[in-house]
Structure 1
Amino acid sequence: MSQDLDAIDRRILNELVADARLPVAELARRVGLSKTPVAARIKQMEESGLIKGYRAMISPMKLGLSHVTYIELRLSDTRESALKAFNAAVRAIPEVEECYMIAGGFDYLVKIRARDMADYRRIMAEELSTLPHVHSSSSYVAMEAVVEASAPPLE
């Protein structure tokens, strides 16, 4: 890790990843310190940018978004202006859960969630295929989530 973390910091982070609403008093009890040093450690990790924020984890399945597809996108132009235009446009598509620029046989890997195959087809036709500079795509439908991590391991 690029930031020096001791065993207590890692325990604090693991507890917060499991339950970000954990009261500081309970968190302090679990890591074996008093409230004041635990609060100070959390504040320092927030100020350093290690802790970027807190959010509610919403179940996509409970929202009916059970269809997960990964799409390889190849662009017709990979100059900086084209990449910037693509990046800005893909960020505006609410169904895009993740998007990574890739070094390899294609340019971007996109993860989307949809209600079903018809919804995926609509997203592909109306949103992804119309993104700036998209030349071609290949899609891979996920059958089952075997591992889904919400945070990196802190060991």
Structure 2
Amino acid sequence: MDELDRKLIAALAKDARAPAAALARRLGTARTTVQARLERLETSGAIAGYTVRLGDAATARRIRATVLVGVQPKALAQVMPRLQAMPAVEVAHTTSGRFDLSLQVAAGSTAELDEALDAIGRIPGVEDTESLVHLSTRIDRAL
């Protein structure tokens, strides 16, 4: 991946719907170059897909929490399908340290969040959880 690829990915992170011609003008290169680069980045797996990033109007009523989860030894394979089936679990990362998983959980109300946290704690193989409710977002460089 070279500098042009990095600039192209950065431009797409700002506006994934930008047409190739607009990206080419912004990057000072030919439209065919942009199209070829996009195809190569997609084929190589550097770009896995294009998505929608929800704005404040769509997420304002969502309550988010990070949930740290300790799993019994060798139980992760049984825990993951149960977590994947829970719509409130948006993201799951394996981690090092005291906890085995870090989850991003979202709900429409504190009552729904409480239910989701209880459901996570009841999954066979989960032995410990710690929840951190998100109050405000100060930095978000996810894209």
Q: TM-score, normalised by structure 1?
A: 0.84
Query: Which residue identity does 1:22 align to in structure 2?
Result: A
1:90-119 deviation per Cα after TM superposition (whole angstroms, max 9, x unaligned): 111111122111211122111111122211
Match of 1:129 in 2: 121
3-state SS of 2:141 partner: coil
Query: Which residue identity does 2:27 align to in structure 1?
Result: V
Query: Contact between 1:60 and 1:66, CA under 8 Å: does it hold in 2?
Result: no
3-state SS of 2:103 partner: strand
Unaligned runs of 5+ in 2: none
Match of 1:86 in 2: 79
Separation of aligned partners in 2, 1:15 and 1:96: 29
CA RMSD of aligned residues (A): 1.6
Match of 2:46 in 1: 50
Shift of 1:86: 1.1
1:60-82 deviation per Cα after TM superposition (whole angstroms, max 9, x unaligned): 7525543111111112x221xx2
Separation of aligned partners in 1, 2:88 and 2:28: 42
Aligned length: 143
Out of 115, 126, 144, the residue aligned to residue 136 of structure 2 is 144
Match of 2:13 in 1: 17
**Matching of residue 41 in structure 1 with residue 37 in structure 2:** yes
Match of 2:108 in 1: 115
Same amino acid, percent of matched pairs? 27
Match of 1:69 in 2: 65
Deviates more, 1:106-115 or 1:37-46: 106-115
Query: Which residue identity does 1:27 align to in structure 2?
Result: L
3-state SS of 2:58 partner: coil
| Structure with greater helix share of residues | 2
Query: Contact between 1:24 and 1:39, CA under 8 Å: does it hold in 2?
Result: yes
3-state SS of 2:65 partner: strand
Q: TM-score, normalised by structure 2?
A: 0.90
Shift of 1:33: 0.9
